Chains A and B, each alone.
Chain A
Amino acid sequence: MRGNSVILEVKDISKHFGGLTAVNRLSFEVQEGTVFGIIGPNGSGKTTSLNCINGLFRPDEGRIFFRGREIQGLPPHQVAKIGIGRTFQVPKIFKRISVMENLLAPVLSSPRTDQELKAKAREHLHSVGMLEMEDRLGEELSGGQQKLLELVRILMFDPQILLLDEPFAGVHPTLKTLFYKKIHELRKQGKTFILVSHDLTSVYALCQQIIVLDQGEKIAQGRPEEIKRNERVIEAYLGR
């Protein structure tokens, strides 16, 4: 069953900034329970695409469907509520509140008690080896720890699909392994991922389907082994 249904469909979306076209008539479908990779050179529109999906930007054209429901133009907090989680290229940790409060932020409207939520938060912290850090302030964490916190923070609200923007940038190999493990584990639970990364080894290892963007346009799509051999991709990455 899993892997056959489309959880997210992006249809012909475009986003312009003044005269610049950051995303140009982009379309793709993401199958449920898979890891979907988006790669491309700097400034090719990867982050902008994620911003359109989770409501930070309203695409100028095109439509986005989540489980068949049209979501473009919904405010970000509603996009989150329907099950789309997002991490950022530069982690957006709340700096001057505690790690625990950071983790509670996504579940403030949950009907569950504070005790239950805190227990859940501790489980997540434990799973990434950060249990004893719950009282630290966000700003007291290292860059890699911030990335981990950001990941487990969106897990708190149990999203169906996780948009990860450069989760491996500046992360130590050991932590990276932890990330891999986490992603595998979550996939087994049926979660879907969109992974944006410059770390091609990781993308090839984790993703089932990859699209390549260049100057806002999709120039290739396929399975990892197809992308590796694609001439246009090699060109886009190695320069013309």
Chain B
Amino acid sequence: MRDRKESTPSRMAAVWVRCGPAALVLCAALVPLAAPSISSYIFYLMFWITMASAFNIIFGLTGYLPFGYVAFYGVGAYVTAVMWSRLGVPIPLSILSGGVLGVALSLLFAPTLRIRGIYFAIVNFSCAMALRILVANLPEAWTGGSLGISLSAIYNPNASFYTMMALMVLTIWTVGRVSGSRLGIALRCIREDPEAAQVLGVDVVRSRLKAWILAALFPSLAGGVEAWYTAIIDPDSSFNLLITTKTIVYAMFGGLGTVMGPVIGAVSLYALDDLIWGKFPMLNLLILGLLIVLLVLFLPRGIVGTVTRRHASLRAVIR
């Protein structure tokens, strides 16, 4: 009985979940050709989807809140710019090196995963800030000091647009794979109760390290691609804390721990954010802060989490 009542919405949801994203990606792919005026908007939308989805691997699945998440993005951007401008490495390889260094950085930070809860968030935040100071103080010949590095010679909005698109698709695909895999179950167990997970034979240290590396890889790559797109980087914007904040809010709003949540969160909130930013630049931060408070109070599971909590039959479809 229960089944019959719930089968229609869940079947509809299944169709949506399968075809919706593919259709959207296709539309987005046409933007640089058909509607270049909104191409920057779509680029950043894809950027935020990538950031929020990757962030979901560490915060949504394992419950670790890296408040210095921007560090990976910043390192990706800087390594890409330095490799290309100082060493003459082709841009795709430069971006990949950014990813490699981001992963190396995550290994360097890995011991901090022993710390849990708010302490991890604070330590991670401090690491990111230390890194920013370090980068700002590296020899100017390398990093360009506070002025940063210009990449205008390889400015290519279309190529970088499609690279970002590929990266976004890869990120969402990876999250989907991880979430449905045994690693995904292990990570969720660790999030719920690390002690119980251990007692059941889950290798907590190894599983969360895998999540941490994946969560570091994508923002590092995204940093490189964005550097290519804007063709300029500087320490202030590459290590801007607002990037962490927005990533968190987007992921939370859509629903942590679900694959579609951060995507939905980024799509809906980025539009709002863009609007507020354009109309009330001064109030933007205030509104963002308020939004975080409201989210934690009223929508702790995000949109997707709340919907699947009410409609158990959708759990199998929307993940």
Binding site for B on A (CB under 8 A): 54-56, 75-77, 79-81, 86, 88, 92-98, 101, 104-106, 108-109, 114, 135-136, 138, 153-154, 157
Contacting pair B192 A95 (CB below 8 A): yes
Contacting pair B198 A105 (CB below 8 A): no
What are the residues of chain A within 8 A of B193 when measuring CB–CB? 92, 94
**Nearest neighbor of A157 in chain B, beta-carbon distance:** B201
Contacting pair A56 B192 (CB below 8 A): no
Q: How far is the CA of A194 from the CA of B226 in the complex (A)?
A: 59
Beyond A104-B182, A135-B316, is A76–B198 a contact (Cβ under 8 Å)? yes
What are the residues of chain B within 8 A of A154 when measuring CB–CB? 200
What are the residues of chain B within 8 A of A108 when measuring CB–CB? 182-183, 185-186, 201-202
Contacting pair A77 B182 (CB below 8 A): no
Contacting pair B192 A96 (CB below 8 A): yes
**Nearest neighbor of B186 in chain A, beta-carbon distance:** A108
* Residues 171-207 of B at the A interface (beta carbon under 8 Å): 182-183, 185-186, 188-189, 191-193, 195-204
Q: How far is the CA of A234 from the CA of B149 in the complex (A)?
A: 80
Beyond A95-B192, A135-B315, is A80–B185 a contact (Cβ under 8 Å)? no
What are the residues of chain B within 8 A of A93 when measuring CB–CB? 196
Binding site for A on B (CB under 8 A): 182-183, 185-186, 188-189, 191-193, 195-204, 257, 312, 315-316
Q: How far is the CA of A114 from the CA of B181 in the complex (A)?
A: 10
Beyond A101-B185, A104-B182, A105-B186, is A153–B192 a contact (Cβ under 8 Å)? no
What are the residues of chain B within 8 A of A109 when measuring CB–CB? 182, 201, 203
Q: How far is the CA of A136 from the CA of B183 in the complex (A)?
A: 20
Q: How far is the CA of A237 from the CA of B200 in the complex (A)?
A: 33
Q: List 18 A-B contacts (CB under 8 A).
A: A56-B198, A77-B202, A80-B198, A80-B199, A86-B199, A92-B195, A93-B196, A94-B193, A96-B191, A96-B192, A105-B197, A105-B200, A106-B201, A106-B202, A109-B182, A109-B203, A138-B192, A157-B200
What are the residues of chain A within 8 A of B312 when measuring CB–CB? 135-136
Q: How far is the CA of A55 from the CA of B200 in the complex (A)?
A: 12
Beyond A77-B204, A104-B182, is A94–B199 a contact (Cβ under 8 Å)? no
Contacting pair A77 B196 (CB below 8 A): no
Q: How many A-B residue pairs lie within 8 Å, measured between CB atoms?
A: 78
Q: How far is the CA of A222 from the CA of B171 in the complex (A)?
A: 61
Contacting pair B200 A153 (CB below 8 A): yes
Shortest Cβ distance from B251 into chain A, in angstroms? Answer: 16
- A-B CB proximity, top 4 nearest: A92-B196, A80-B201, A94-B192, A76-B198
Contacting pair B200 A56 (CB below 8 A): no
Shortest Cβ distance from B266 into chain A, in angstroms? Answer: 22
Kindly name the residue among A88, A92, A95, A157 whose own CB sees the greatest number of chain B CB atoms within 10 A: A92
Shortest Cβ distance from A215 into chain B, in angstroms? Answer: 25
Beyond A94-B193, A104-B185, A135-B316, is A54–B202 a contact (Cβ under 8 Å)? no
What are the residues of chain B within 8 A of A55 when measuring CB–CB? 198
What are the residues of chain B within 8 A of A135 when measuring CB–CB? 312, 315-316
What are the residues of chain A within 8 A of B199 when measuring CB–CB? 54, 56, 76-77, 79-80, 86, 92
5 further A-B contacts with Cβ under 8 Å, apart from A56-B198, A81-B201, A135-B312, are A55-B198, A77-B201, A105-B197, A105-B200, A109-B203
Contacting pair A88 B196 (CB below 8 A): yes
Q: How far is the CA of A204 from the CA of B191 in the complex (A)?
A: 38
Shortest Cβ distance from B237 into chain A, in angstroms? Answer: 36
Q: How far is the CA of A77 from the CA of B202 in the complex (A)?
A: 6
What are the residues of chain B within 8 A of A153 when measuring CB–CB? 200
Contacting pair B196 A106 (CB below 8 A): no
Q: How far is the CA of A92 from the CA of B202 in the complex (A)?
A: 14
What are the residues of chain A within 8 A of B183 when measuring CB–CB? 108
**Nearest neighbor of B313 in chain A, beta-carbon distance:** A135
Q: How far is the CA of A81 from the CA of B206 in the complex (A)?
A: 15
Q: How far is the CA of A95 from the CA of B189 in the complex (A)?
A: 9
**Contact among B185, B195, B315 for A105, CB-based, below 8 A:** B185
Q: How far is the CA of A101 from the CA of B197 in the complex (A)?
A: 12
Q: How far is the CA of A109 from the CA of B183 in the complex (A)?
A: 9
Shortest Cβ distance from A4 into chain B, in angstroms? Answer: 29
Q: How far is the CA of A154 from the CA of B202 in the complex (A)?
A: 12
Shortest Cβ distance from A100 into chain B, in angstroms? Answer: 10
Contacting pair A97 B198 (CB below 8 A): no
Contacting pair A105 B316 (CB below 8 A): no
**Nearest neighbor of A79 in chain B, beta-carbon distance:** B199
Q: How far is the CA of A55 from the CA of B198 in the complex (A)?
A: 9
Shortest Cβ distance from A162 into chain B, in angstroms? Answer: 12
Contacting pair A94 B195 (CB below 8 A): no
What are the residues of chain B within 8 A of A104 when measuring CB–CB? 182, 185
Q: How far is the CA of A80 from the CA of B203 in the complex (A)?
A: 10
Q: How far is the CA of A86 from the CA of B201 in the complex (A)?
A: 11
Kindly name the residue among B191, B192, B199, B204 whose own CB sees the greatest number of chain A CB atoms within 10 A: B199
What are the residues of chain B within 8 A of A86 when measuring CB–CB? 199
What are the residues of chain A within 8 A of B188 when measuring CB–CB? 94, 96-97, 101
Q: How far is the CA of A88 from the CA of B202 in the complex (A)?
A: 17
